[in-house]
Amino acid sequence: MVDVKYRAHAVDRMLERKISTTEVEMILLEPDGVIKQSLDKYIYYKKLKGRTDNMIAAVTITKKHKSFEVLTVMIDFEVV
């Protein structure tokens, strides 16, 4: 079980980009990769089957194991 909270900005971007809560949870639990941005902020990303855009990314504050606060989601994410 995963505990996920969504900020209003994340919900707006999910609706705009047609990303479901199920897809976000899949990204968080089985990412293709994770990038640490700061002490507790991470980007989780994954290529999802059935989507024509590039990788999907979720920017989160990770509070503890399997507890996330999603700040935003992105499409066409590229690791540089």
What's the pLDDT tens digit per position in 9-25?
Answer: 999 999 999 999 999 99
* Residue 57: CATH number of its domain: 3.10.450
Residue closest to 67 by CA, chosen among 50, 35, 45, 42 = 42
User: How many domains are there within the chain?
Assistant: 1
Residue 28: band (very low, low, confident or very high) from pLDDT cuts 50, 70, 90:
very high
Spatial separation of the C-alpha atoms in residues 1 and 80, rounded to whole Å: 31
The whole domain housing 19 covers 3-77
**Contact indicator for 17, 75 with CB cutoff of 8 Å:** yes
pLDDT band at 41 (very low <50, low <70, confident <90, very high): very high
